[in-house]
Chains A and B, each alone.
Chain A
């Protein structure tokens, strides 16, 4: 990668959303979607640390087969709180509430979301829910597993179930409000010329995600409400002693919690589409198919939930149907992977940090997705259900997929959000460390699961120790891979090199406004006349127009 000729030094714009107003009230009472995104960034990062702490406890404990570190009861609380913190308070909000909130209005040419005050409300709802859950953690924690299965959670558990149930219930409304806001915004607030098929795929992905949030979250809300009422007031729907049915709880719970995983991955896929198009400097292959695939995943994702319940004694015929549908839901994901790969082919690829994360996503999501098929197949699931195979599968998707998407997106858009560029070489090294650490942590878990190590057990047979030690070693490396971006991104926000309007350059509307953007996003409402990811017909990007192959690869200003 060659350095380009010296360009005039860039400066930050004089007025932007960060310095428009000062003081804590201007942040806590803001209705600017960009500031709300940063409020979310702070909260989800806090919960990432909390979830990470519990993960550390799990991995340290599992260094030895007979569990010297924690008692069985405490271990149960560790993995439960790890799951609750990471899923409800980090993964589900992360990309939508941080990157979605910040960039959807910018990408469609709007001044803000449709309902800015509801946006702020959604953050406060998150905070209230978070406080209840933190109270649960501090007052001894929850030991039921993040899945709250009954009647353990409703009758027999001695842990702080009620505050956690209340906390997650409340936080669900944050999700619902965000989804509602996005759906209305995308329908009604697009700038002139921004037709549906000129929308960036990031926006399509969030549209699909919002559909899932709207239709799924209320079901987990009522489920947790009923479970909470059972625990507190003795209602009996899920209690066999009163004639209730624990499987009913599982049906209701997973009706949301399976689509929830699509809430976690669809936005990441949206980020990847942006990254691949930008850093292959090529129009995204099969744009319409990728957009349609997002919607297909959202819809079909609602039809597969009972694949979490194959061993519960449910009807074999229902299991067959759910298994078949599970295989079906893999298809749109595969369509996306093929389209991304086809975009790379013949593209002018550069290896900036966001692209490294995109590559990581491609490989790791592929492995995670394919291993899901083993789990979706009835016969093999009997063998690997509730083992570390499952744990590895979903971590490949959630961490190897969703978190890579999140970090890739953060790096890609950091210059826009802060006006400053992160240190490129340090970021690349961190991405590499993360990738190595991740695989070392979770690949052995596939082997452990296949060999029969159950999940959620605080002890294991001694012959599994080698893999567990590998996994813990990997987790330590992974931790470094996470800490580095936290440090240098924070540093870069204040001291990084000024990035300018469009450092990559990328084709989205968000790159046609100063970095950082002014509070009103666009001084004049843009009129859109170009197709998405169209590098050829965008003279404003300043690219060499001669030929595709001679175009210089994308890079930030080194």
Chain B
């Protein structure tokens, strides 16, 4: 037969109180991310925003989508999806980030506004 380790999905029924706790946490995190946006953290604003968003997403995946109570295979699929997204993002960005010309000068993709156009001698 198919997967032996499969647990009947609906055998574990998540109680509404758990859902309530999760939604309240999600609302709190939403408030936090808005508040954090008004704090000047420079380059780290995006990091904080993404970390909070990921926390929210994790809660939705684990509890609302029952991933915590799903068979291992489901968890593997989720991780594979995240991993592949990471490949797409990081390997592509690795090209752009590591562009250095023969003089050792970092050169941009099209133009980078922070630097003045006449950078070449």
Contact B111 A243 (CB under 8 A): yes
Contact A187 B100 (CB under 8 A): no
Complex formed: what's the CA distance from A302 to B88 in Å? 9
A188: CB under 8 A from chain B? yes
Question: 1/0 per residue A308-348: CB within 8 Å of B?
Answer: 00000011111001000000000000000000000000000
Question: Contacting B84 at CB < 8 Å: which of A190, A215, A247?
Answer: A215
Chain A contacts for B87, CB-based, 8 A = 302-303
B98: CB under 8 A from chain A? yes
B17: CB under 8 A from chain A? no
A245: CB under 8 A from chain B? yes
Question: Contacting B88 at CB < 8 Å: which of A240, A255, A314?
Answer: A255
Complex formed: what's the CA distance from A240 to B88 in Å? 22
Given contacts A244-B110, A255-B92, A302-B87, contact A187 B98 (CB under 8 A): no
Complex formed: what's the CA distance from A243 to B113 in Å? 11
A251: CB under 8 A from chain B? yes
Given contacts A187-B2, A190-B2, A255-B88, contact A315 B110 (CB under 8 A): no
A69: CB under 8 A from chain B? no
A121: CB under 8 A from chain B? no
Complex formed: what's the CA distance from A317 to B96 in Å? 10
Complex formed: what's the CA distance from A247 to B92 in Å? 10
Q: Which residue of A lies closest to B109 (CB)?
A: A245
B91: CB under 8 A from chain A? yes
Chain A contacts for B98, CB-based, 8 A = 315-318
B90 → A minimal CB distance (Å): 11
A260 → B minimal CB distance (Å): 15
Contact B95 A318 (CB under 8 A): yes
Contact A315 B2 (CB under 8 A): no
B3: CB under 8 A from chain A? yes
B99: CB under 8 A from chain A? yes
Chain B contacts for A188, CB-based, 8 A = 2-3
Contact A317 B100 (CB under 8 A): yes
Complex formed: what's the CA distance from A523 to B73 in Å? 31
Contact A247 B94 (CB under 8 A): no
Contact A315 B100 (CB under 8 A): yes
Contact residues, B81-121 vs A (CB, 8 A):
81, 84, 87-88, 91-92, 94-100, 109-111
Chain A contacts for B20, CB-based, 8 A = none
B81 → A minimal CB distance (Å): 8
A377: CB under 8 A from chain B? no
Given contacts A188-B3, A189-B2, A315-B95, contact A302 B110 (CB under 8 A): no
Chain A contacts for B3, CB-based, 8 A = 187-188
B84 → A minimal CB distance (Å): 5
Chain A contacts for B99, CB-based, 8 A = 314-315
Question: Contacting A247 at CB < 8 Å: which of B73, B91, B97, B109?
Answer: B109
Complex formed: what's the CA distance from A448 to B44 in Å? 54
Describe A's contact surface by its main secondary structure. Answer: helix
Question: Contacting A321 at CB < 8 Å: which of B81, B94, B96?
Answer: B94
Give how many A residues have a beta carbon under 8 Å from the other chain's beta carbons. Answer: 25
B1: CB under 8 A from chain A? yes
Q: Which residue of A lies closest to B102 (CB)?
A: A316
Q: Which residue of A lies closest to B108 (CB)?
A: A245
A363: CB under 8 A from chain B? no
Q: Which residue of B lies closest to A216 (CB)?
A: B84
A484: CB under 8 A from chain B? no
Question: 1/0 per residue B65-93: CB within 8 Å of A?
Answer: 00000000100000011001001100110
A192: CB under 8 A from chain B? yes
A211 → B minimal CB distance (Å): 8
Contact A315 B96 (CB under 8 A): yes
Chain A contacts for B81, CB-based, 8 A = 215
Chain B contacts for A315, CB-based, 8 A = 94-100
B67 → A minimal CB distance (Å): 17
Chain B contacts for A240, CB-based, 8 A = 110
Contact B2 A314 (CB under 8 A): no
Contact residues, A337-372 vs B (CB, 8 A):
none
Complex formed: what's the CA distance from A248 to B110 in Å? 11
Contact A243 B110 (CB under 8 A): yes
Chain B contacts for A252, CB-based, 8 A = 92
B115 → A minimal CB distance (Å): 15
A238 → B minimal CB distance (Å): 11
Q: Which residue of B lies closest to A188 (CB)?
A: B2
Given contacts A187-B73, A219-B88, A245-B109, contact A318 B94 (CB under 8 A): yes
Contact B88 A316 (CB under 8 A): no
Complex formed: what's the CA distance from A274 to B11 in Å? 41
Chain B contacts for A248, CB-based, 8 A = 92, 109
Interface centre among B87, B92, B97, B98 (most CB of A within 10 A): B92
Complex formed: what's the CA distance from A318 to B87 in Å? 13
B44 → A minimal CB distance (Å): 25
Contact residues, A198-251 vs B (CB, 8 A):
215, 219, 240, 243-245, 247-248, 251
A440: CB under 8 A from chain B? no
A63: CB under 8 A from chain B? no
Contact B84 A303 (CB under 8 A): no
Question: 1/0 per residue A50-87: CB within 8 Å of B?
Answer: 00000000000000000000000000000000000000
A120: CB under 8 A from chain B? no
Complex formed: what's the CA distance from A252 to B94 in Å? 14
A296 → B minimal CB distance (Å): 15
A-side interface residues toward B, CB under 8 Å? 187-190, 192, 215, 219, 240, 243-245, 247-248, 251-252, 255, 302-303, 306, 314-318, 321
Q: List 7 A-B contacts (CB under 8 A).
A: A187-B2, A190-B2, A252-B92, A302-B87, A315-B99, A317-B100, A318-B91
Q: Which are the 6 A-B pairs with shortest beta-carbon distances?
A: A318-B95, A315-B98, A315-B99, A317-B98, A188-B2, A251-B92
B-side interface residues toward A, CB under 8 Å? 1-3, 73, 80-81, 84, 87-88, 91-92, 94-100, 109-111
